[in-house]
Amino acid sequence: MTTRTPFARTDAPAPASQLDVAGELLALLRDTTTEPRPDTQLEALTLAVAADLPVLLWGEPGIGKTAALTQLAASLDLPLTTVIASVHEPSDFSGLPIVGDDPAAQGVPMAPPDWAVRLVRAGRGLLFLDELSTAPPAVQAALLRLVLERRIGALQLPPGVRIVAAANPRSSAADGWELSPPLANRFVHLQWTHDHEVVVRGLGGTWPLATLPRLDPERLSEAVDFARRAVCGLLSARAGLVHRLPSNETRRGGPWPSPRSWEMSLRLIAFATAAGSSRDVLSLLVRGTVGDGPGLELLASLDRMDLPDPETLLADPANAVLPERGDLRQAVLDGVVRAVRERPEKSRWDAAWALLVRATETGAPDLVVVPATTLASLRREEWDVPASIDRLAGAVSLSRRADQVAARTTAVARAGR
């Protein structure tokens, strides 16, 4: 006869389900860490975020744009709100009309969506507008006020909210559209590419650490003054760059120069200067704001701002310090010759020749060929030829012979095709 116990034991742990085990494995896979690591595009992104400018990341599908934004939000301790622009209606960004008791007296307010309300309640956050290039034109038009004025309906997003978007090129986007020029001109465009070492190390569990730039409080005023002089100096000399809408539809959907984008460039230069950012980072930001051509002109203008004054060089040519970079040295020598042309005097003419000799002794001789030719044309009959010209003759002659040989070689190669 079998005897049964009156009560069954209930203190034994229940066996874990396979879904629980799978959850533990997923948690381990998501358990990653970060490390400080030089990353030019990540530094450019964080600098633009710090400057409170909307950023648009361009990259092929699967390149890691969404993952980078998720990691950025976590590193900066900002709540991440992701909005897929292409699955929303225009009213989702302009506000939904809510009819009250007396519309004639109270009007019809535009109610914001729930995600906007949550951002306002939090007071800070990272708003991620994903798949922007798949948003139809009507939705892009509704996004204009959100991106520029940070308004959704009657709701104003707080200053602590930053906006970053991501898009695929039209050729690789699902049912993609070109960005409208007004919307494109509101963003800092960054081309997002993958770095092999970053990907491998990240898959191993360690990703680059995204940190906001450290701004030097002692350099804030200097940074603003430097940025204003750089942008205003370029636009004063190149008035055609103030506003240049591209004729090509694809280029209109990218960075191009306008008063708005120049103001963005000015802000980025000030932030990069105060943070001591590298030229590579500044190049990404400037070209991503006003386009490659105007951006490169601005970068060249920045380089020239640090060049020595031609009058200082003419006053003491024996102790002149010339730039090492060939393009900057060429600009300095051209500036010296220009200064002599504007105020031609025998002492200044002789000093300019002394500078050309010094440039030949400390750098490539071919850089003095054009300035020497121009300077020689400025000679007046009563001016004696300085002895220093003899020291230049050999270098200039050798450079010209090298140019002639190169030209003949090129001609022979073309004739043999």
Q: What's the chain's average pLDDT?
A: 84
pTM beyond cutoff 0.85: no
With contact defined as beta carbons under 8 Å apart, do 265 and 231 qualify? yes
The per-residue pLDDT for 398 is: 42
Mean pLDDT of 148-174: 85
The per-residue pLDDT for 399 is: 43
With contact defined as beta carbons under 8 Å apart, do 245 and 186 qualify? no
Q: What is the pLDDT of residues 46-99, one digit of tens each?
A: 999 999 999 999 988 888 888 888 888 888 889 999 999 888 888 888 777 776
The residue that leads in pLDDT, 347 or 169, is 347
Mean pLDDT of 339-354: 90
Strand-pair partners of 84: 130
The residue that leads in pLDDT, 395 or 285, is 285
Mean pLDDT of 275-283: 94
Q: What is the pLDDT of residues 164-196, one digit of tens each?
A: 999 988 766 656 688 899 999 999 999 998 888
Q: What is the pLDDT of residues 293-334, one digit of tens each?
A: 999 999 988 887 777 888 889 998 888 888 888 878 888 888
The per-residue pLDDT for 14 is: 63
Statement: residue 414 has pLDDT above 70: no
Which CATH number is associated with domain 36-96+110-208? 3.40.50.300
Strand-pair partners of 129: 83, 165
The per-residue pLDDT for 409 is: 46
Helices (H), 76-219: 91-94, 103-106, 114-122, 137-149, 181-184, 196-203
Mean pLDDT of 239-263: 93
Cβ burial of 195 (10 Å; 0-12, 13-18, 19+) is middle
How far apart CA 69 and CA 178 sit, in angstroms, is 23
Confidence of residue 13 (pLDDT cuts 50, 70, 90): low
Strand-pair partners of 123: none
The secondary structure of residue 276, as a DSSP letter, is: T
The residue that leads in pLDDT, 402 or 225, is 225
How far apart CA 276 and CA 231 sit, in angstroms, is 18
Statement: residue 388 has pLDDT above 90: no
Dig out the tokens for 341 from the structure. Answer: 């042309």
With contact defined as beta carbons under 8 Å apart, do 164 and 55 qualify? yes
Domain ranges of the chain: 36-96+110-208, 217-305, 310-415
Confidence of residue 11 (pLDDT cuts 50, 70, 90): low
When mean pLDDT is compared over 11-20, 248-257, 387-396, the highest value belongs to 248-257
Statement: residue 403 has pLDDT above 50: no
With contact defined as beta carbons under 8 Å apart, do 349 and 378 qualify? yes
Confidence of residue 243 (pLDDT cuts 50, 70, 90): very high
The per-residue pLDDT for 330 is: 86
Alpha-carbon distance values, 126 to 51, 54, 55, 73, 152 (Å):
14, 11, 11, 6, 15
The per-residue pLDDT for 271 is: 97
Strand-pair partners of 33: 206
Identify the residue whose tokens are 């991501």. 166
